[in-house]
A and B are shown apart, each in its own frame.
Chain A
């Protein structure tokens, strides 16, 4: 499994468990919008950022905790990879 795929799988598991409990995992795709649809509201964003920082040992800057960088699983993977 590639680095990107591993990151995607870990983040996807977290998002499903924390914010989409009971949803069909296959419905959460690489390009499913999380921020703009409200799945990641302000509190959920804090949880996700905290999780990413601890899980991947990276630092998310204040201006990265937004729609541009966290809106989809693909965005999130790109952000994490850019910091490793």
Chain B
């Protein structure tokens, strides 16, 4: 494995940090307080090419490999403190663009991918229900074929980008007798008859990423908007989740590096008992642990992307990356807060927001417990 960045890759990684610092951070504290999505920031990232990075040039994408993509997203997370905005972009890429690329027909790809890559359309993924969280395939939402369209009935919750989505990948049971093999995926477009969007769900963290429930009351979906064949929902969801687990926390690695640097700078600057607090060994130990976690998280991320580029299925590596990065991110944010002491606990410092933003990563894209279950199973247990 060679993780040396080429000149082009390095230029992209540097450019995205510059963009983020110059264009994406201003007003973040207020947006977080108001739980407000930064659409202008979304558009700037789209214009940079972030949304389309891993998709083919012929569909308006950047044609980049997985390793380059996660490398750029890592630096986006380093430069952009708006973890919610970055999360929304990731959800859009990995749970809408990616399955569309793998399972979509040529017509579907040509119709939607260029507009998803350009950021004109916002994508969302709707799988979870009130009674179907980690037990993801026990769906209550149904799809019934009537002539040239399906009628979807049921509801979804925790839909990232739900309030602003133009295209939603919705999973529903077509044939309940087949269990998980009776699930199909549909692309439901904003304004579809029978679709209604619930109020914005209020969250502990990543508050600048909007989330809502969705309700389907005989929601009409044309047959040509089914994604993959009937019954392909399980393999499609596995595909989306594998990509998401491998890549969605790329930016968290950058966030961890930012938190480490911020903490070191503070520890050098802050004086107590007549010296910098960074001279105290207990604090040094905490900083060293932050660095160890950062490097382990980065290695897990790069390895998963490298193996995907090599054509390997990465079920194991994706689960490892998700688990390693999410747990490391939370503990690193806790350490950063502890190093900053009372100042870190204050909302103005933004350290407490970083911790709130990090905690959700233990839950989405499969909880840490689900990642451990996958890893143990793939290890032969």
What is the interface of chain A, defined by CB distance below 8 A to chain B?
18, 35-36, 38, 41-47, 49-50, 53, 59-68
Contacts and interface: CB of A to CB of B under 8 A. Distances in A.
Interface residues of B, number: 27
A36 B178 contact: yes
B181 A59 contact: no
A46 B315 contact: yes
Given A41-B180, A62-B102, A67-B181, A47 B232 contact: no
B178 A42 contact: no
26 contacts: A36-B178, A42-B137, A42-B234, A43-B377, A44-B377, A45-B235, A45-B238, A46-B313, A46-B315, A46-B374, A46-B377, A46-B378, A47-B377, A50-B313, A50-B315, A50-B378, A60-B313, A61-B102, A62-B102, A63-B228, A65-B235, A65-B238, A66-B181, A66-B234, A67-B181, A67-B231
Interface string B179-208: 111000000000000000000000000000
A55 to B, nearest CB: 13
Contact of B235 (A47, A59, A66): A66
Nearest to B136: A42
B316 interface: yes
Contacts of A45: 235, 238
Contacts of A61: 102
A42 B380 CA distance: 15
Given A35-B181, A38-B179, A46-B378, A62 B239 contact: yes
Contacts of A36: 178, 181
Contacts of A53: 312-313
A43 B373 contact: yes
The 9 nearest A-B residue pairs measured at CB: A62-B239, A66-B235, A46-B315, A62-B102, A43-B377, A65-B235, A59-B311, A67-B181, A63-B103
Contacts of A67: 181, 231
B236 interface: yes
Given A42-B234, A61-B102, A47 B178 contact: no
B238 A42 contact: yes
A50 to B, nearest CB: 6
B298 to A, nearest CB: 24
Interface of B: 99, 102-103, 137, 178-181, 228-229, 231-232, 234-236, 238-239, 311-313, 315-316, 373-374, 377-378, 380
Contacts, number: 63
B313 A63 contact: no
A38 B178 CA distance: 9
A63 B102 contact: yes
Contacts of B374: 43, 46
Contacts of B238: 42, 45-46, 62, 65
Nearest to B316: A50
Contacts of A60: 313
Contacts of A38: 179
Given A36-B181, A61-B102, A66 B313 contact: no
A64 to B, nearest CB: 8
Nearest to B99: A62
A34 to B, nearest CB: 11
B180 A42 contact: yes
Contact of B103 (A18, A43, A59, A62): A62
Contacts of B378: 46-47, 50
A66 B377 contact: no
B179 A49 contact: no
B220 to A, nearest CB: 25
Nearest to B237: A42
A62 B313 CA distance: 9
Given A36-B178, A42-B137, A53-B313, A63 B232 contact: yes
B236 A62 contact: yes
A63 B312 contact: no
Nearest to A41: B180
Nearest to A69: B235
A60 B312 CA distance: 9
Contacts of A65: 235, 238-239
Nearest to B180: A42
B315 A62 contact: no
A46 B137 CA distance: 15
B108 to A, nearest CB: 13
